[in-house]
Amino acid sequence: MARHQVPGLLDRLGTLWREFVAPQGGSALAHLDPDLPDEQLLHLREQMQACLDARGGDVSARTRAAALGHVYLGLSELGRRRFLTLMATEFSPDRDVVDRAIAELEAADDAEREQAAFHVYQALQPPRINLLKQFNILPDGVKFLVDMRAELLKFRSGHPELDGLERDLMEILTGWFDIGFLELRRITWDTSPAAVLEKIISYEAVHEIRSWDDLKNRLDSDRRLYGFFHPRMPDEPLIFVQVALLNGIADNVHDLLDVNAPVGDPALADTAVFYSISNAQKGLSGISFGNFLIKKVVSTLSAEFPSLKAFATLSPLPGFRVWLEQQVEKDGDDLLLPAETKAVTALVRRKGNGARPPALGLFGRLLSAELWQSDKDTAEVMRPILLRLATIYLVSARRFPEKGNVPVAIDPVAHFHLSNGARIERLNWMGDRSERGIRQSAGLMVNYLYRLQDIEKNHEGYSSRGTAALSSALKGWLKG
């Protein structure tokens, strides 16, 4: 079936919050143009200031917040960006107040210094933080702010004036979504609400769920699906993981997702394979739940199935193909070892094409060929080359984050698992033969192994030096 779409909460709240908006409330805002032209910004600023003034008690505060939120929901994308820009620029810290507080601190003696420092702290708190927190008193107000941040992240590119507002909102959400507030919940076919099942279909980001039968297969007795939930968003998964209970580590995703495959006995399984981890809320990007999710699920599965001896993933390499094409463009056939060059040259000649190689070289020609993976001879030559280069990619392709001086993997999935203490265990040739798998990962998939006794050591090596723990089999590819 087509990818399922769940109505956005930013639209649904328009009806839910209407009952809180007084009939006469915000009359100046009742007929705003969706694009929010300049001449209407003054009325909006007055409404925001009224929310901050907080006159009239809790009921009035809720009415004003609902009116302001209702305005936001009725705007176009351009109007929402202008709304957020107004909040970011007009309700930032007052520079004069900050300067006076700093001067007070510099002049303070020891007895006055702590109080003066507190005044600096107060002066630096932008009024927009209190404006954002106003939405927390509304039904689904937390989800409203999560989705608002998702839009902020989208708008922020090319609009640095929004950076401060985005940071403020992230700080608020980081506090509200502390791991101590989250609940791990198993999602099942029989007991989970239909609304949650629909959202699993919609939010699945790794292997598209194509039908209700597909979803039911992923929730069968030899499968587990767990998600983290927040009490203020009880029907909205924050992040969820899909697990297969098997004998041995899976080497391809097609067998795992085969709806006609026989159902295994989970009590006899010795391996739990995490084959999909999806962040469901774009507005919580940068707030880490994944490492806690894996640890919690490992603990839960270990208690339920004492026979489990290994915990591993079957993961894509979503950045590999882009990185590989960049290397080919830069180095051409110089990427290849002598034996690989010989094999590629012989293959091209055998296929009846003896022309001079293009700028990207013979290997680049093979890689760019349509359906190269379906030709047996081509795939046989490409296999050792791609496995070797993929190992180099996982071990050596690094970048420096904005904060910190330790290089991290450029592949986001590799970074996630390496930072959580996993070891790169095995590369699987044609583990994902789908169009997306070929386009992103050249068909390869990787097993990351979580050995409980090595997690801390592996995490320390990666976080302090950027070093990836590697199995002996993959070390052999590097030697080659």
Active site residues: 315, 417
Query: What is the rounded CA–CA span in Å between residue 136 and residue 181?
Result: 16
Q: Residue 201 to residues 211, 230, 256, 280, 437: CA-CA distances in angstroms?
A: 9, 19, 17, 11, 19
- Give the chain's radius of gyration (CA, Å): 27
Cross-strand bridge partners of residue 233:
230
H helices of 311-408, where?
A: 320-331, 338-350, 361-368, 376-396
Alpha-carbon distance of 315 to 277, in angstroms, equals 9
Nearest to 441 by CA among 206, 204, 201, 203: 206
Handedness of CA 413, 467, 320, 284 (dihedral sign): positive
Q: Give the amino acid at 20.
A: F
Tokens 């420092």 belong to which residue?
A: 117
Write down the residue that tokens 């490492």 correspond to: 291
Chain-centre distance for alpha carbon 114? 40
Tokens 């999806």 -> residue: 278
Task: Count the neighbouring beta carbons within 10 Å of the beta carbon of residue 96.
Answer: 9
